[in-house]
Chain A
Amino acid sequence: MSETALFIKGVDKFYGPIDHGVHAVKQLNMDVKKGEIIALLGSSGCGKTSTLRMVAGFEAVSRGTISLKGREVQTFPPVRRNVAMAFEGYSLYPPLTVRENIAFALKASKLSQSVVDEKVANIAKLLEIEDIMGRYPSSISGGQQQRASLGRALIRDADLHLLDEPMGQLEPQLRALLRGRIKHFIKERGLTAILVTHDQTEANALADRIAVMEGGVLQQFDTPQMIKERPANLFTGTFVGEPPMNVFSAGISGSGDTVSFGLNEGVKLDYKVSDFSHEVRAELMKRSKVVLGIRPYAVRRSDGGVGARVAVNQWLGDQTHIAADFAGGTMVLVEHDRTNLAIGENVGIRLDPSSLHVFDGDSGKAISHGQELA
């Protein structure tokens, strides 16, 4: 049982008057263990930065508690929280060089000059910014500023590192390189980090657990694998994964030993009753409307399948993305070989019950995931 580094309980954030202002974060509950890396994923404006700022102490908590190492801190000023943060807008101090900017994060820790110099040199090497250490923030590029700002956060020996989109400005190659190095750096020192990112690859590669947020509400907080295989609701299902999950709303009917999903334009998907477990069947039969989801790489083509019409066929160098008109919507398929399907051609599609995600038609909450169907 490892120590809890951060515990957020029932936190609300209103900008403006409580209950009347902008409700940026809603009833947030989250726990982060010491040594964990958490990725915070969500669309723009969903409350990620607000959450980090409350943890850091720059925004007041409207309701609820925030504990760091078991100590409630929501009323403490930032000085007393021992948290490090890399800001979305970099926020370097203009009159200081990059080196001084990074070193001044250590000022309060009263380390000797030689220790500081060594740490700064390490960070510079880690982030590939050795050649700009003597420059001023105004004379370096956005990506360089971002790395300097990240360095200023990483160099500190804080209880918690909050990194707000720390690599958003970098090209994919550099990002991939730094991603590996940063993970190693954090894990080696046993640091705890929360990282906001819009890059799902980054989230999957770096994080022990991913928190998916939308509209100020935490949708799911789980390992990357669980998020992918067992999305808690329609939002997580469609938000995480590239290309996104295909979703179709469907009505349910059952007769004899078949369960049928009726899609738009009269498309009907029939499954055997035995394809679903008893509990899932019971859940399905309670409803008349559900949403079916299937990931593009799980969709199979088969001659006896349901009819679809190819609309787009793109070879991306290592995989094929096919978009087909299906049941009044679009079904995206990913295949690993090059296909010679022509636009307008009819194909048969098979949706294996073991790959099918079923969500409630109203609330969007997950009812079942393929793997547990049978």
Chain B
Amino acid sequence: METTSTLEKTLRLIALTLVVVFFMFPIFWIFLMSFQTNETILAIPPSVIFTPTLSNYAALITGKLTTAAGTLDIAFMRNLMNSIFLSVTSVAIALVLGVPAAYAFARHKFKGSEDIAFTLLSFRFAPPLLVLLPLTQYFQWLGLSDTYFGLIWVYQLICLPLILWIVRGYFEDISADVEYAYRIAGHSWFATFRKIALPLAGPGIAAAGLLAFIFAWNNFVFALVLASADKQPVTVGALAFVTSSGIQYGQIASAIVLSVTPTLALALYAQRYLVEGLSLGAVKG
């Protein structure tokens, strides 16, 4: 262990604080905004002292948006549920398909396996807008446009390659002999996959799942084009706050707070496993 002087420690602390403040400030500001009315938000100069109001959240939850031009219906809660449903289902399906595939690519090299793996990754290279037009056509043809099924399918373009490539790396890091040692003691390869490979790659799978979830959650264009109002996630639904009578900053802020919460909660929850995985990493291989 290196010894660090008090001065160095202090400098480090200051630097860290600056970085944290820099990144956290916008989020903090939005958090404050979500408890303010549009008038206080737009007041000049801005102030951190205000009477907090829950009206923004109330509007979102009841779905009634009161603007200068009258009352509007918004489907934010429905959007939120859609986001949760689409992201969770997509990631779950991508994990079920991607983890065994990643294991296969890591452990069984066969002719062309590298090409297949790369092709799957290349789905992520294509700009979404490029595939969107033909995709819309096909989906209309197949009757898949504006269905959850179709959306989840398209979301696999986002989630599957991510999970496949990240998890594959984790499987490759596990020494094959650790698995062989288990197999030779009288276990099938499937038992080995379940009892040895999966737990050892667990942190990697958690990380990949989290990342895929974030990407799925933040997706905008696919959902915008392929889904109608009742199936759209929050990213698209947020457009509703841009109304003819102005932009509803307060509601946008509270919508952001609400829509960030699931991802944040998931990240905090997964963090335990991620850290655990890092400390296990020292003995891999």
Contacts and interface: CB of A to CB of B under 8 A. Distances in A.
Interface residues of A, number: 30
Interface string A80-108: 01111101010111110000000011111
Interface in B189-226: 189, 196, 199-200
A254 interface: no
B181 A109 contact: no
A56 interface: yes
A361 interface: no
B104 to A, nearest CB: 16
Given A94-B283, A95-B280, A138-B282, A79 B177 contact: no
A187 to B, nearest CB: 23
B188 interface: yes
A369 interface: no
Contact of A91 (B175, B187, B188, B189): B175
Interface bin, chain B: 20 to 34
B28 interface: no
Nearest to B178: A91
B24 interface: no
Contacts of B49: none
Nearest to A88: B177
B180 A58 contact: yes
A94 B200 contact: yes
A92 B189 contact: no
B16 to A, nearest CB: 29
A138 B185 contact: no
B280 A94 contact: yes
Interface SS of B by simple majority: helix
Contacts of A321: none
Contacts of B199: 95
B184 A84 contact: yes
B185 A56 contact: no
A78 interface: yes
Contact of B175 (A79, A89, A106, A156): A89
B189 A77 contact: yes
B284 A78 contact: no
Interface in B9-51: none
A149 B175 CA distance: 14
B183 interface: yes
Nearest to A158: B184
A152 B180 CA distance: 13
A7 interface: no
B186 interface: yes
B283 A87 contact: no
B123 interface: no
B83 to A, nearest CB: 35
Given A77-B188, A78-B180, A85-B181, 17 more contacts: A79-B188, A81-B184, A83-B184, A84-B185, A85-B184, A91-B175, A91-B181, A92-B178, A92-B181, A93-B182, A94-B178, A94-B200, A94-B280, A104-B185, A107-B187, A108-B186, A138-B283
Interface of A: 56-58, 77-79, 81-85, 87, 89, 91-95, 104-109, 136-138, 149, 152, 156
24 contacts: A58-B176, A58-B180, A77-B188, A77-B189, A78-B180, A78-B183, A79-B186, A79-B187, A79-B188, A81-B184, A82-B186, A83-B184, A85-B180, A85-B181, A89-B175, A91-B181, A94-B200, A94-B280, A94-B283, A95-B280, A104-B182, A107-B187, A108-B185, A137-B283
